[in-house]
């Protein structure tokens, strides 16, 4: 353990996009045999290492270069520059039907794929029944592959890949084609490989799959590697890129970069004369302020609401709402409901809401704040989406919140 299984050293891959092709002799002579094209760099200076026994997930939007990178690792594509070094036997499942000859039967394709992976006929004979059983194709194994459904293609391809006893297993998002039961079966086999100490490079669009299976992850964006490290950090950056693509406030932006609260639309349009207490700012804070742009699931969070009061008040109730990216309210805290009687002096000041353990998992959450005359009473002021809180979950927990739990075993 600890030796390098895969080394990707400064890999770049360029494709040429031809805008038009000259097919006639006259056109070729006129253009001197030159065909106009544009360079497309699918990968640029990708550099990382995978140790033996690591399970590495690759995340990225469509077109980010994930499949191109896997093909370079598997040797299907040669990099334009840089090199890939793989130590040990590699098996890959890159795309639907990859390596299959459609006019051959399933049985013949098993022997063909096995031989391409360096196995002898005798070695394939020993695992043939296991491959067919895993693929659940006993009735169809002697039919031509061109008559297989997409699900049958996937089952046969994955069964071959995981039964040839590889040292390095490379899997693309092709697993999403299978039905839910088969996907669970494949993921169980991947976990078994992980427990056996094999090396896995796993591409997925599902952050939860990467979190559950991988101990490291990297993120690609427009052919560049923008993150390589723990899954929680990679997922945070992956979601940041998705939000940027959708035109939403990027996850990495700090609360102080949120739109100024004076431009937010209140629920009502109060005047200073009628409503003497106004919100002047909303600021979230956590123990990592100044070191990282995000809070960690489970650590304390404080939301400070700053105000300006034209006169003293004993009945003001402050409200904080936390919402997800769909604007669903996840948490609403009202000081008046907590029997927190606030005596607000005239002038400026602040009210802080302190959460000992902020339970929400990965995401970017908006914070809205308001001031009521009393709990549920007249609204003095309201600032919609006045701040943002980004949260990174470093654990393998999936879902919406992290709740402390103790698991016990008792013999009866």
The set of residues, in sequence order, having a beta carbon less than 8 Å from that of 298 and lying 6+ positions away, is: 357, 358, 359, 402
Same domain, 362 and 233: no
Q: Which of 195, 216, 245 is the last residue of a domain?
A: 245
Residue at which a domain ends, from 190, 211, 245: 245
Specify the pLDDT at position 177: 57
Instruction: Evaluate the CA torsion angle 176, 181, 185, 187 in order and state its sign.
Output: positive
Give the number of domains in the chain. 2
The confidence score (pLDDT) of residue 376 equals: 58
Q: Does 408 fall in a domain?
A: no
Q: Are residues 195 and 279 in the same domain?
A: no
Q: Are residues 144 and 292 in the same domain?
A: no
Q: What is the pLDDT of residue 309?
A: 92
Q: Tell me the CATH number at 321.
A: 2.70.50.60
Spatial distance between the Cα atoms of 169 and 158, rounded to a whole number of angstroms: 10
Say what the pLDDT of residue 268 is: 42
Asked if the structure places residue 253 within a domain, the reply is no
Q: Where is the domain boundary, 245, 273, 289? A: 245
What is the pLDDT at residue 245?
67
Instruction: Note down pLDDT in tens along the chain; length 412 residues.
Output: 568 999 999 999 999 877 666 666 666 666 665 667 788 899 999 999 999 999 999 999 888 999 899 999 988 899 999 999 999 888 887 765 566 888 899 999 899 888 877 788 898 999 999 999 988 889 999 999 889 887 888 888 888 888 888 889 898 876 665 677 777 888 888 888 888 889 999 888 888 888 888 899 999 999 999 999 999 889 888 887 876 765 543 333 433 333 333 333 334 434 444 567 899 999 999 999 989 989 999 999 999 999 999 988 888 889 999 998 888 889 999 988 887 678 889 999 999 999 999 999 988 999 999 998 875 567 889 998 899 999 999 888 888 898 888 899 999 8
Is 405 within a domain?
Answer: no
Asked if the structure places residue 275 within a domain, the reply is: yes
406 within some domain: no
CATH, residue 186: 3.40.50.300
Domain shared by 61 and 206, yes or no: yes
Q: Are residues 225 and 78 part of one domain?
A: yes
- What is the residue range of 152's domain? 4-245
**Is residue 411 assigned to a domain?**
no
Based on the fold, state whether residues 269 and 384 are members of the same structural domain.
yes
Does 20 fall in a domain? yes
Same domain, yes or no, for 183 and 279? no
Same-domain check for residues 230 and 330: no
pLDDT given at position 392? 92
CB-CB contact of 365 with 258 (8 Å)? no
- Quote the pLDDT of residue 322: 94
C-alpha distance from residue 276 to each of 269, 343, 344, 380 (Å): 13, 14, 11, 7
Could you tell me the pTM of the whole model? Answer: 0.71
| Residue at 369 is within a domain | yes
**Are 35 and 143 part of one and the same domain?**
yes
Q: Looking at the structure, tell me whether residues 190 and 318 fall in a common domain.
A: no
Q: Examine the domain organization and report whether 262 and 201 are in the same domain.
A: no
pLDDT value at residue 273: 43
> Nearest to residue 363, comparing CAs of 325, 327, 408?
325
Whether residues 179 and 122 share a domain: the answer is: yes
């Amino acid at each position: 353990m600890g030796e390098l299984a895969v080394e990707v050293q400064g890999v770049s891959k360029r494709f040429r996009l031809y805008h038009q092709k000259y097919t006639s002799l006259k056109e070729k002579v006129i253009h001197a045999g030159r065909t106009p094209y544009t360079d497309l760099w699918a990968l640029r200076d990708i550099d990382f290492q995978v140790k033996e026994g690591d399970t590495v997930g690759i995340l990225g939007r469509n077109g980010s270069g994930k499949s191109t990178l896997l093909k370079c690792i598997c040797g299907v594509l040669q990099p334009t520059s840089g090199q890939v070094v793989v130590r040990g036997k590699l098996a890959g499942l890159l795309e639907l039907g990859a390596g299959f000859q459609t006019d051959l039967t399933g049985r013949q394709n098993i022997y063909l794929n096995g031989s391409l992976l360096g196995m002898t006929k005798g070695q394939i004979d020993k695992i043939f029944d296991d491959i067919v059983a895993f693929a659940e194709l006993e009735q169809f194994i002697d039919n031509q592959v061109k008559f297989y459904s997409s699900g049958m293609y996937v089952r046969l391809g994955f069964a071959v890949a995981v039964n040839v006893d590889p040292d390095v297993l490379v899997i693309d998002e092709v697993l999403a084609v299978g039905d839910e039961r088969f996907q669970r079966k494949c993921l169980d086999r991947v976990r078994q490989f992980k427990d056996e100490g094999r090396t896995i490079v796993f591409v997925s669009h599902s952050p939860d799959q990467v979190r559950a299976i991988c101990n490291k992850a990297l993120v690609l964006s427009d052919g560049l590697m923008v993150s390589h490290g723990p899954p929680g950090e990679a997922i945070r950056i992956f979601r940041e890129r998705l939000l940027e693509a959708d035109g939403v406030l990027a996850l990495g932006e700090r609360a102080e970069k949120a739109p100024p609260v004076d431009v937010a639309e209140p629920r009502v349009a109060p005047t200073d004369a009628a409503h003497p207490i106004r919100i002047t700012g909303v600021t979230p804070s956590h123990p990592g302020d100044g070191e990282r742009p995000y809070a960690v699931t489970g650590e304390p969070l404080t939301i400070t609401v700053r105000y300006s009061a034209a006169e003293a008040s004993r009945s003001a109730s402050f409200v904080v709402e936390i919402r997800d990216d769909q604007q669903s309210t996840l948490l609403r805290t009202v000081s008046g409901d907590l029997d927190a009687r606030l005596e607000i002096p005239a002038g400026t000041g602040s009210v802080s809401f302190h959460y000992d353990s902020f339970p929400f998992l990965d995401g970017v959450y908006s914070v809205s704040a308001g001031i009521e005359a009393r709990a549920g009473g007249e609204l003095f002021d309201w600032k919609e989406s006045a701040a943002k809180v980004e949260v990174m979950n470093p654990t393998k927990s999936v879902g919406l919140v992290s709740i402390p739990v103790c698991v016990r075993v008792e013999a009866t």
